[in-house]
Amino acid sequence: MASDRASAAETTRFDFLVIGGGSGGLAGARRAAELGANTAVIESHKLGGTCVNVGCVPKKVMWNAAVHAEYLHDHSDYGFATENAQFSWETLKAKRDAYVSHLNRIYRNNLDRAKIQTIQGYARFTDDPEPTVEVNGRKLTAPHILIATGGQPSVLSDDEVPGASLGITSDGFFELETLPKRSVIVGAGYIAVEMAGILATLGSKTSLVIRQTGVLRNFDAFISANCTKELQNNGVDLWKNSQVTSVSKTDKGLEVTIVTKDPEKKNDEKTSTIEEVECLLWAIGRQPNSSGLNIGSMGVDTDERGNIIVDEFQNTSRPGIYAVGDVCGKALLTPVAIAAGRKLAHRLFEGKKDSKLDYSTIPTVVFSHPPIGTVGLTEEEAIKSHEKENVKIYKTSFTPMYHAITSRKSQCIMKLVCAGKEEKVVGLHMQGLGCDEMLQGFAVAIKMGATKADFDNTVAIHPTSSEEFVTMR
């Protein structure tokens, strides 16, 4: 009995314990603290998680630099002489890294101001009867424990692809000290598209290896086809129906062996080699950071990929343990994790029992060249849920006015997916100059249930690309 009391006394208690100091964990922790909860955040690396350190933030800095490179091609058409422009990857990296460090400090200051305890280290659930974690030999518990450990890039082993470990992932991209002269990106998702676009636009000779015929296959087919075409227009060497089968190191760099299949002839394969590769980047998906937590002993269920299974209120299968963000494997986007973390805090500490995130109609942007904006259902999804005869499509393709006087051309494409007699707008998809900043307002309208008639009744802003959405016929 005495030893039980001693072990209980050694366990530090909080109202809310958050494992993971990324976007979702920090948002939930800060909101809980605002609502009066005694809160602690456990983080093994840097505050800010994937987004701030090796994701959206540094990626957007690199994309901004690539946009400058694109505009350089247009300067002479607009009357500017800029023949001697030089690009320094080293300068950009130093400024980018300093900005990220600045954000790390801001996150730490915000936690300190909110009187949230920050604990550095890895958390692992113990076998204690009540949910308890151990960090650096110290036991911590709370009636409410949030798992927000995020995800990491998936990697192939050398057994799966000989020499695969000679490549890097998106994490390693941000460690590159110089611009690679020759790059090979493997993958067809948005990270592969963004990395290939940034490297190619900044001057690296870039190949993109994809297993099928197009990129972004989970997006609307209109977007997938156009983005595939734009990558090629921007000088990316696209290897369709292809897979990397081996990688070897030579004194001139990496040698990447690729097998390409003819989709019409099942047994027709061609083997090729790309030589002198300085950067091989695997962008083949992401996996949850759930394996080291010992959550199985807590009765927390995961799917076959290790994603933590949660209900609509972010509850796991173990009462008192919750999960938000990429570790759940659904809608892997920073603002989703933030919103879910905050909604959970309001439910737990403000008594708002119905507080939960609505995972439908989530807008997202791909920072390709040009950028993509999309929200709601694809045409295919709309037909599945509403039947083909109840779905009406409006689309357009045009050259933005910016490119009217430039020798470099890039199209803007737009599509509205409408359903039912009232033609409710259930999907909106676009790629073109400015589409990244155009989407948020349209997403609000669609979330509110806007119809095609509502779009038509809105006066256009001229001359802009966005006016096309309110003048479609």
Buried b (16+ CB within 10 A) or exposed e, 165-190: ebbbbbeebbebeebbebbbbbbbbb
Phi, psi torsion values for 184, nearest 5 degrees? -130, 125
Phi, psi torsion values for 249, nearest 5 degrees? -105, 135
**Cα 37 to Cα 145: distance, rounded to the nearest angstrom:** 12
DSSP code, position 10: T
**Cα 215 to Cα 210: distance, rounded to the nearest angstrom:** 7
Ranges of beta strands (E only) in 348-390 are 364-366, 372-376
- Catalytic (active site) residue 45: no
- The active-site residue out of 144, 386, 429, 462 is 462
Q: How many CB atoms lie within 10 A of CB 265?
A: 8
From 115, 20, 112, select the one nearest 325 (Cα to Cα). 20
Q: Which amino acid is at 290?
A: S
Spacing of C-alpha 414 from chain mean position: 22
Collapsed DSSP state (helix, strand, coil) of residue 315: strand
Collapsed DSSP state (helix, strand, coil) of residue 308: strand
**Cα 430 to Cα 448: distance, rounded to the nearest angstrom:** 20
DSSP code, position 400: -
Q: Catalytic positions, please?
A: 462
